[in-house]
């Protein structure tokens, strides 16, 4: 493969201005969707239900990020309706 066909390496411009961390955080926070208190409560209810089910199935309170290659891995995808 010739030099022309290779993807060029990225370069760092040492003369560029420093990033403003506070401005960067504000822009990031704008990307996070805002939920009403009711919607947040519904989401929390579903997540709590899932976590409790996961604890029962795994028979432990020490839950870490599961490894999908372990036979005890439980993948849950809610497909039903939320009942009040």
Give the chain's domain count: 1
**Mean pLDDT computed over 38-55:** 89
pLDDT: which is higher, 3 or 20? 20
Distance CA 56, CA 15 (A): 56
Domain range for residue 41?
35-59+71-84
Judge whether 43 lies within some domain. yes
Rounded to whole angstroms, the Cα distance separating 79 from 47 reads 14
Tokens describing residue 46: 């579903």
Residue 51 covered by a domain: yes
Residue 16 is assigned to a structural domain of this protein: no
Within a domain: 2: no
pLDDT in the model for residue 26: 93
Mean pLDDT of 11-24: 87
* Any domain includes 25: no
| Those residues with Cβ within 8 angstroms of residue 76's Cβ, 6 or more apart along the chain or in another chain | 50, 53, 54
Query: What is each CA distance from 21 to 9, 18, 28, 43, 83, in whole angstroms?
Result: 26, 9, 10, 30, 43
What percent of the chain is predicted at pLDDT more than 90? 25
Per-residue model confidence as pLDDT tens digits over 50-74:
888 888 877 766 667 767 788 877 7
């Amino acid at each position: 493969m010739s030099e022309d066909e290779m993807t060029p390496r990225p370069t760092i411009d040492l003369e560029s201005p420093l990033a403003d961390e506070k401005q960067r955080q504000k822009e990031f926070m704008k990307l996070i969707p805002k939920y009403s208190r009711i919607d947040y409560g519904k989401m929390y209810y579903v997540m709590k239900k899932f976590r409790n089910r996961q604890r029962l199935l795994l028979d432990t309170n020490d839950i870490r990020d599961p490894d999908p290659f372990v036979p005890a891995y439980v993948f849950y995808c809610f497909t039903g309706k939320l009942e009040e």
